[in-house]
Structure 1
Amino acid sequence: MSTAHRENSETRPLLHASANESYDSVEPRGETTPTDPSPPLNKVSGADLAWVLAGLWSAVFLGALDGTIVATLLAPIGSYFNESNRSSYIGTSYLLSVCCFTPLYGRLSDILGRKGAMLLALSLFGTGTFLCGLAPSMDALIAARAVAGMGGGGVMTVSSIAVTDLIPLRQRGLYQGMTNILFGLGAGLGGPVGGWLNDRFGWRSAFLLQMPILVFSFILVTAKVSIKLPDEIQQQSLRAKIRRIDFFGSFTLVGTVGCLLLGFSLKSTEELPWSHPLIWGLFIASLVWCALFVLVETYWSPYPVMPIRLVKQRTPLAVSMACFFGSVAAFSTLYNVPLYFSAVRLNSSTDAGLHLLPHSVALSTGSVFAGWVMRRTGKLYSLTLTSCAMTVVAGMLIVFWKDNTSPFHLWLDIVPQGFGMASVITTTLIAMIASVAKEDLAVATGITYLFRTTGQVLGVSLSGALLQAVLTRKLRERIQGPGAIEIIERIRHSTSVISELNPPLREAAVSSYADALRIVFICQVACNFFCLLCCLPIQENTLPGTHEEQEAVYRRRKNTITGTPSDP
């Protein structure tokens, strides 16, 4: 690394990038630098932009709605097939598929175009969802959810890439905030809508009635999304485009992520010990696939699905790790705070869920606020660190919840976590986009979503495994004698039985859950702190306010590489 590069501070302007760094950012191995570095501007009228966003955001809304609908339907679906013990695999198969296929859409959107990649994602998601509604067995339903996840992983990624193409970076954060509001709205409505549809028409209707929204989104994307790619891509034959797909890289990446997440998921859902051959076998397989993936991406693939040169750069690496740790903490909080109110405070499920309402409002507000600040100031570094610090403070407040904690704290301590994390997710995405070349925008966005979704799944799986390990140990210390094993198993698998126990057993169960959750909350603080540390190296790049300014940034960066004098 050059001396000039080492001396760059976090506030280094984008236009002053060193030649070496810029070259690393834009020159894919095996690709020739095009004569015209800047594709035509993708400027659309206000009316067309509204229709494009309606098509893209309706798909995002549906993806969020679908997730919570399915979570609500796990119990009735398990009862219908008389396989409640396998109902958790409905969610696991979808999440695994999403994590594995999310990063692939970055490169696919460069090959098939934004419209082609989005239509592929909608087709897979729609096919899987339709098959779920017709599934004759639990195995068929699990497989259909995996197909839906192949498309669900692309809906958010390609939507984000397409909006980036259409909106200047300085305004991009505000649009991301609006996207997050729609995502939160879909996630919030999914539970009650899914429950109502199940009670009124049966669980199959919850899948089949999603099809009209899917068709609406598909038609709008087909008719209105027309984003131009570089001429050298648009003029290629279908065979040449297919050759650009990194099949080996995609296969090894799926093996890496799939084996890793499956190992953690089986550990938490099947309650297998860490020493079980299946668990450590999956982890070893993940390491082997990871080594093969790095070798393929470094030495073999001319168009890598995840360019190693990109991940090794300062800001992309920092953003990726920040997204990972932040997502682990955020989803652990999302799942374990309601459990605290159910198992320790012995509140009803409805009341426990209501305690997440301030958090949901904070999520939407934080994302929009971050977008507004970036639009006003063109800066994101200080905002990112402040937001991370808010999540650390919120995590510490939650750790100190006790029997005598006031209702004020129980309702509002979680707010800084939601507000801060929503802001971090928005600012880190913009930081990633602003730090890479135009040719790498799509792939970089896919990498961001990969680390984010992987963190989400691990946040739930690891916190669940840790909770059960500590809870089991504490219960065995406090409950002994005849029938103790049966009582402990009942307490571990259902919080609703706690209120039915006699006072000594109830006190032991509540204290054990409180101790276990406190350990989980401390780990959440640690993850939020690691997120803060990972955000420190992020560089502050100029956020262009117009399409013309943004194109000028890309031209000057290319000129730095080729040695061509910059435009006056």
Structure 2
Amino acid sequence: MSFNRKSDSEARPLLDDRRSSYGSADTENTTVPDVPLNKVSRSDLIWILAGLWSAVFLGALDGTIVATLLTPIGSYFNKANQASYIGTSYLLSVCCFTPLYGRLSDILGRRGAMLLGLFFFGTGTLLCGLANSMETLIAARAIAGMGGGGVMTVSSVAVTDLIPLKQRGLYQGMCNILFGLGAGLGGPLGGWLNDAFGWRSAFILQMPVLAFSVILVIMKVKIKLPFDVQNQSTSAKLKRIDFFGSFTLVGTVGCLLLGFSLKSTEELSWSHPLIWGLFLVSAVFGVAFVLVEHYWSPYPIMPLRLITQRTPLAVSLSNFFGSVAAFSMLYNIPLYFSAVRLNSSTQSGLHLLPHSVALSTGSVFAGWIMRRTGKLYTLTLCSAGSAILASALVCLWGDGTSNFHLWFDIVPQGFGMASLITSTLIAMIAGVVKEDMAVATGITYLFRTTGQVLGVSLSGAILQAVLVNKLRARIHGPNAAEIIENIRHSVNIIPSLDADLRHAAVSSYQDALQVVFICQLAMNVLTFICCFAIQENPLPGTHEEQEEQYRNNASRNGTSVEGQ
């Protein structure tokens, strides 16, 4: 496809023939309004990115700070058995509310949606610092999650408005470096703050960074929406919000993930009434969501015609399967070194350091390649293949595996997955019309975060199921049941066991983790297969070329944006 400048007479019919999601849902011949180009000076761009990315940095920092504080918080409230719900409530909330921000950013504007996300995230974080019970803290983390996912989504949408797609991947890579830096600093910073000032300080001291982000967003983020949206009254904008679709989507995703999470954390059987009841309610909400989006909502939160298009569907599924594999590996590699190699927690965690470096470099590399070549299809397939290589190498780990392999076999997973999520995000944006860009970005983050939660919970359920069978086959005697339960719940006791029991425990964990690693390989293969369906679209190098491509996408797809 060429980006040669076309005359007005050549370009205008594309505009006149296309119906817009920003126009009236009842008008058959609504034309697409002129969309202002959002060009900003270099200095303004730097301040805008500072405001957006400081919030992204804070979100990453917050996640690992809280993970570090789970034990001291559980001990403080004397409810260590409920500590895992602090993380679960946040992740569930993020998954449920992330896709809503794509459409909200089209209705409230990028600044309005970003401020809404920061409000929920800041309110929840402040309440965490003031919480007087474990239950209040869990609820506060859920409130923070309502904004946490939105901050990521809206910042990505806003950067896409400002940066041509050919350069967009490089900026995404820089954002991912900042995200990785926040995640890396969160652990040691959280531990130091807890030791020096108490765990509450880790939440309270996030407020100045949040205030900095809010001020910059208010002052600098002035991205223009189509003129008919900008000129609408507040009541008209509120009528565009898909309340029924939002409610049914939250119910679908929330009940599904809660069922898997409870299955893993509470070790309930699949036949337990609570588990299958949640899955049943999720299915009912899912059917209601499809009906609402197809027949009821004039401005659907997730247009069904979009998710059934070739590239958006392929990108969504590849992000889902890839995230399942990535987060399963992220959580189970340290367990391997703790339970099988009997390393300390510190040593086990250090094995993720090369993986963390690969995450940052992979994203920047993908951005550099797309900027240099203007292509992403081959890059995407190679990235997915890199993840397959890593998971295959990990499956081969055994007693004779060298230290080099134990340290660096997971590097292709981090590098490939970082590159994949960067290139597929650009593929999604490049393959839709402008009016769908924000919603498509939200859908991408929905599938990605859902995969992350399921990667942790499903791998945990598989691990425990295999582990129990192996332990029961190897450990016998009057106290066998108690010993098995102790081994399942704490790997720290394994080094102190008698030689025979220690060998049984290590072998059982190795067998169980082998099954998990094979499942990770299968997920990465599915990711690779999904990537084949992604279409190669040119990556515009200027705002004018990008506007032309959006018009070409609409003409090629025959898009009727408002309908289903």
TM > 0.5: yes
How far the C-alpha of 1:555 sits from its partner, in A, is 3.8
How far the C-alpha of 1:549 sits from its partner, in A, is 1.1
Choose the corresponding residue for 2:550, options 549, 554, 558: 554
Tell me the distance in 2 between the aligned counterparts of 1:254 and 1:175: 31
Question: What amino acid does structure 2 have at the position aligned with 1:475?
Answer: L
Change (3 A) 1:110 1:196: same
**Partner-residue secondary structure (3-state), 1:542:** coil
- 2:395 aligned with 1:411: no
User: 2:318 is matched with which residue?
Assistant: 322
Tell me the distance in 2 between the aligned counterparts of 1:557 and 1:38: 16
CA contact (8 A) 1:107 1:305 kept: yes
Tell me the distance in 1 between the aligned counterparts of 2:515 and 2:356: 24
Choose the corresponding residue for 1:208, options 186, 193, 204: 204
**Partner-residue secondary structure (3-state), 1:402:** coil
Question: What amino acid does structure 2 have at the position aligned with 1:221?
Answer: V
How far the C-alpha of 1:13 sits from its partner, in A, is 8.0
User: 2:8 is matched with which residue?
Assistant: none
- 2:398 aligned with 1:395: no
CA contact (8 A) 1:25 1:440 kept: no
Any unmatched runs of 5+ in structure 2? Answer: 5-13, 560-564
CA contact (8 A) 2:358 2:412 kept: yes
Change (3 A) 1:14 1:254: farther
Choose the corresponding residue for 1:337, options 333, 336, 356: 333
Change (3 A) 1:480 1:559: closer
Tell me the distance in 2 between the aligned counterparts of 1:26 and 1:558: 12
Change (3 A) 1:111 1:468: same
Any unmatched runs of 5+ in structure 1? Answer: 1-11, 564-568
Change (3 A) 1:559 1:454: closer
User: 1:133 is matched with which residue?
Assistant: 129
User: 1:363 is matched with which residue?
Assistant: 359
How far the C-alpha of 1:552 sits from its partner, in A, is 2.2
**Partner-residue secondary structure (3-state), 1:369:** helix
* Deviation string, structure 1 residues 161-201 (Cα, Å, up to 9, x no partner): 00000000000000000111111111111110001100110
Q: What does 1:246-395 align with in structure 2 at a 5 Å threshold?
A: 246-395=242-391
Tell me the distance in 2 between the aligned counterparts of 1:221 and 1:143: 27
- 2:42 aligned with 1:30: no
Choose the corresponding residue for 1:67, options 51, 59, 63: 63
Change (3 A) 1:562 1:287: closer
Tell me the distance in 2 between the aligned counterparts of 1:232 and 1:142: 41
Choose the corresponding residue for 1:498, options 494, 508, 519: 494
Q: What does 1:143-182 align with in structure 2 at a 5 Å threshold?
A: 143-182=139-178
Question: What amino acid does structure 1 have at the position aligned with 2:106?
Answer: D
Tell me the distance in 2 between the aligned counterparts of 1:61 and 1:280: 38
Q: What does 1:182-193 align with in structure 2 at a 5 Å threshold?
A: 182-193=178-189
Q: Normalising by structure 1, what TM-score?
A: 0.94
Q: Normalising by structure 2, what TM-score?
A: 0.95
User: 1:461 is matched with which residue?
Assistant: 457
Change (3 A) 1:560 1:85: closer
How far the C-alpha of 1:29 sits from its partner, in A, is 8.9
How far the C-alpha of 1:35 sits from its partner, in A, is 3.9
Tell me the distance in 2 between the aligned counterparts of 1:339 and 1:81: 27
* Deviation string, structure 1 residues 269-309 (Cα, Å, up to 9, x no partner): 00000010000000011000000000000000000000000
Tell me the distance in 1 between the aligned counterparts of 2:395 and 2:188: 30
Change (3 A) 1:76 1:237: same
Q: Percent identity?
A: 74
User: 1:7 is matched with which residue?
Assistant: none
CA contact (8 A) 2:355 2:415 kept: yes
Question: What amino acid does structure 2 have at the position aligned with 1:138?
Answer: M
Question: What amino acid does structure 1 have at the position aligned with 2:443?
Answer: I
How far the C-alpha of 1:513 sits from its partner, in A, is 0.3
Quote the RMSD (CA, aligned, Å). Answer: 1.9
CA contact (8 A) 1:14 1:435 kept: no
Question: What amino acid does structure 1 have at the position aligned with 2:400?
Answer: N
CA contact (8 A) 1:25 1:437 kept: no
Count of equivalent residues: 548
- 2:470 aligned with 1:474: yes
Tell me the distance in 2 between the aligned counterparts of 1:128 and 1:275: 35
CA contact (8 A) 2:23 2:228 kept: no
Tell me the distance in 2 between the aligned counterparts of 1:562 and 1:72: 51
* Deviation string, structure 1 residues 507-534 (Cα, Å, up to 9, x no partner): 0000000000000000000000000011
How far the C-alpha of 1:28 sits from its partner, in A, is 8.6
CA contact (8 A) 1:54 1:217 kept: yes
**Partner-residue secondary structure (3-state), 2:253:** helix
* Deviation string, structure 1 residues 36-91 (Cα, Å, up to 9, x no partner): 54411100000000000000000000000000100110110000000001111111
Change (3 A) 1:28 1:373: farther
Change (3 A) 1:488 1:288: same
